[in-house]
Structure 1
């Protein structure tokens, strides 16, 4: 005898609701699967850097080389020996004769036969205030004499003497560079001579006097030539 697994005719409402629930779940599953397939992780992102825009290379911001500027060459700092113009002008008043003390200077007082006296002068501002004075070589004079006779003068063979105004502070002393006296007579006529007449030695006494412009040393320096 055969039996029927599914009855023929209308079924209870619960059966229809179960079928509908199963069908709805199936549809939901299908929709979820489709969504997962379409919207999968990384599927919609572009490759790294693909969206980057190409920018123009930055302009060179380094400063351009400045155009060289031409400058005039510096003037020669060496003074022309023949220039006798006054240099180093000062606002200090001119030194008076009374405020300047000149002193003749020798390196020794007695010289052997082979020794040459080294002569110079010192200039002192004995006043109470600063003053200016021309101490250029054109103003300096050194004279060697014995008794009343003059034997040698720095002016006889001087060339290209210069002027130089110097400010002396109160109490200041300046010294000129020493020069060697060759123990001969000097004159403007024998400056180029290589055989000028020697002065007498053997214990003879000579005196050095100095001057700057119109100012003359009050004393002389004695030296003995052996």
Structure 2
């Protein structure tokens, strides 16, 4: 039977084992620390070129050449508004101050079997062209003898029409188709009558006045019926 080891021997063994464990733990800690330090202090990664990097020769963009058509100097014709042109505006409506209206009878006197033919004359006394409705819708012929009104063209007018006419500056135009007076007294109530009163002849004097577009003739024209 082997002799029993003393307590001192056990203590020394425990101390040795404990020391070995401490050394191993210390080595393990050092190893872990070294690995961590190596990973943290490793080489920097190479930079990846970005789009802002200097382009390679194959991607080099040639320097821009100024475009003559894109000169910085503004084009006066394109940027400066010129005066508004009125050349294409066309004639404007005539005014009473611009147009002279004249009553026209084809003769100064008429035989017993002859009917007066009546017209309107317009003179543009202004220095510019103007337009006017010269249709029958705007025309009115009136024949009087003294204070007696014998005939009005509007009393029995049929199918009136419009006609816009340009009157040149300084020009005179006259009715293309005259109105014929049948030498009878007119009335809106006797348009279809066949026995209307006839105007006396024998050298009786009558006066013609006209208006068109609201413009009145300046003076009446006188004629005689025989």
TM-score with structure 2 length normalisation? 0.58
Gaps of 5+ in 1: 1-89
Report the Cα offset of residue 136 of structure 1.
0.9
Q: Deviations over 1:77-135 (max 9, x none)?
A: xxxxxxxxxxxxx9311111011111111111111111111111111111110111111
How many equivalent residue pairs?
137
Counterpart in the other structure of 1:107: 106
Aligned 1:29-108 pairs, distance under 5 A: 91-108=90-107
Of Structure 1 and Structure 2, the greater helix share is in 2
Distance 1:156 1:100 in 2: 26
Instruction: Please report the RMSD computed on the Cα atoms of aligned residues, expressed in angstroms.
Output: 1.3
Matched, 1:145 2:155: no
Partner secondary structure for residue 138 of structure 1 = helix
Q: Deviations over 1:21-56 (max 9, x none)?
A: xxxxxxxxxxxxxxxxxxxxxxxxxxxxxxxxxxxx
Matched, 1:202 2:191: no
Contact 2:133 2:164 in 1 (8 A): yes
TM-score with structure 1 length normalisation? 0.58
Counterpart in the other structure of 1:49: none
Matched, 1:220 2:220: yes
Report the Cα offset of residue 213 of structure 1.
2.1
Distance 1:91 1:157 in 2: 36
Gaps of 5+ in 2: 1-88
Counterpart in the other structure of 2:180: 180
- Displaced runs of 4 or more, over 6 A: none
